[in-house]
């Protein structure tokens, strides 16, 4: 592996990740990005399905795996048999955080219930990521991120108003649950500093999505207002839309605040718009949203994208292109801030990926290596638990690892 950057804020924090797919592993990715020592436990046969999912390169390697499993060590362990469970117990006795995203009750069936784990490691924080949480009538149900997006309210509001609900092009429900799980884990670490005790972090996908739904629930309860799909705009927030250019590009302009609209009007050469009663206030612009969008589109279509952006930025108006991945690689700001980095796996293969967010000034996170080979660190981790080479070989022969 390449030389590691300075230790992150979670350096010295020991994490065992037993999840698979996205929701649990994204939590592990975030903790690993901040410097935690993450040991990923995988099935000896095939490992995490994410090793095979998504777009692949010419060698048949998943291009999702290098990102979701970055900064992690991989060991194989059969958790369905007693010897595997015993090793897991030993590993967790030395851990600060356990991440799992199995159905409720799975850890208990494997003799790894929170109560049992706390007998030997009372400070262990147990992060449990599921579709519907650990309690309630839906808890036993299988739950993917797409279901959580639907039940949490996001899908209903995504897409064009004259079409069925759409989805984002990423697994946002899973990633939100993983993000809240990571926040809960860090909060529990802080609480443990006072109490000395671990606790359960219960992150449900549908609740993580629900948490992002702004005031939609409050609006319904208070006045019976149901938000609807509105495509590229938010109703009564204007102007804020994607506008055409003379070179068939599209520029997003967001000038819905009064002061910013005055700047936009000046850039357009129409300063009188800012004092026109039809457009002078946020409420007035919202009432004439479509009319105002048409007016701005007529103006923007007279200029190329480059000229338009130069005018808007110079005038202090928030604006930008709608980027694809190739645009990000060409952008000088992305380059200046190292928003995209390159890292290697143990075979020396290089992969580009997004950098760590957020940025900490004194203890920054970093991408130390990409997703590991299946079981790449099994021997090293078992040796750290006191197993000698002969014992490890015996475990391998018995399909425990």
Does residue 174 have an active-site annotation?
A: yes
* Beta-strand runs (E) in 332-383: 340-344, 350-354
- Is residue 178 classed exposed, middle or buried when 0-12, 13-18 and 19+ CB atoms within 10 A define those classes? buried
CA proximity to 209, closest of 165, 257, 175, 168: 175
Q: What is the 3-state secondary structure (H, E, C) of 309-329?
A: HHHHHHCCCCEEECCCHHHHH
Give the three-class secondary structure for 162.
coil
Q: Which residues contact 182 (CB under 8 A, 6 or more apart)?
A: 26, 27, 30, 31
Whole-number Cα distances in Å, 295 to 137, 168, 238, 285, 289: 52, 29, 12, 12, 10
Q: How far apart are CA 24 and CA 127, in angstroms?
A: 8
* Residues paired with 240 in a beta bridge: 254
Name the active-site residue from 96, 174, 202, 293: 174
- Output the six-digit token pair for 165: 């609900």
The set of catalytic residues is: 174
């Amino acid at each position: 592996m390449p030389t590691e950057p300075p230790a992150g804020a979670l350096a010295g924090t020991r994490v065992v990740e037993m999840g698979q797919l996205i929701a649990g592993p994204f939590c592990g990715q975030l903790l690993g990005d901040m410097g935690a020592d993450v040991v990923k436990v995988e099935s000896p046969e095939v490992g995490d399905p994410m090793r095979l999912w998504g777009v692949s390169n010419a060698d048949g390697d998943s291009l999702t795996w290098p990102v979701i499993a970055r900064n992690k060590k991989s060991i194989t362990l059969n958790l369905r048999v007693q010897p595997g469970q015993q090793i897991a117990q030993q590993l967790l006795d030395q851990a600060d955080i356990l991440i799992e995203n199995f159905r409720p009750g799975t850890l208990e069936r494997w003799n790894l219930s929170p109560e049992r784990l706390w007998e030997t490691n009372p400070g262990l924080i147990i992060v449990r990521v599921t579709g519907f949480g650990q309690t309630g009538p839906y808890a036993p149900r299988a739950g993917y991120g797409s279901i959580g997006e639907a039940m949490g309210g996001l899908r209903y509001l995504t897409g064009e108003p004259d079409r069925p609900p759409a989805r984002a092009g990423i697994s946002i429900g899973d990633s939100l649950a993983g993000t809240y799980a990571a926040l809960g884990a860090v909060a529990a670490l802080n609480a443990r500093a006072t109490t000395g005790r671990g606790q359960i972090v219960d992150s449900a996908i549908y609740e993580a999505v629900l948490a992002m739904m702004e005031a939609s629930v409050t609006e319904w309860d208070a006045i019976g207002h149901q938000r609807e799909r509105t495509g590229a705009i938010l109703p009564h927030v204007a102007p804020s839309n994607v506008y055409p250019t003379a070179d068939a590009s599209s520029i997003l302009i967001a000038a819905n605040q009064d002061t910013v609209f005055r700047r936009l009007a000046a850039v357009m050469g129409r300063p009188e718009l800012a004092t026109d009663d039809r457009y002078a206030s946020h409420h007035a612009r919202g009432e004439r949203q479509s009319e105002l969008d048409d007016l701005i589109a007529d103006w923007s279509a007279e200029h190329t994208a480059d000229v338009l952006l130069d005018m808007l930025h110079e005038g202090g108006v928030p604006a930008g292109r709608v980027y694809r991945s190739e645009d990000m690689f060409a952008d000088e700001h992305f380059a200046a801030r190292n928003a995209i980095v390159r890292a290697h796996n143990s075979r020396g293969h290089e992969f580009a990926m997004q950098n760590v967010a957020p940025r900490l000034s004194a203890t920054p996170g970093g991408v130390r290596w990409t997703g590991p080979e299946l079981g790449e660190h099994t021997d090293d981790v078992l040796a750290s638990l006191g197993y000698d080479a002969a014992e490890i070989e015996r475990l391998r022969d018995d399909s425990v690892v």
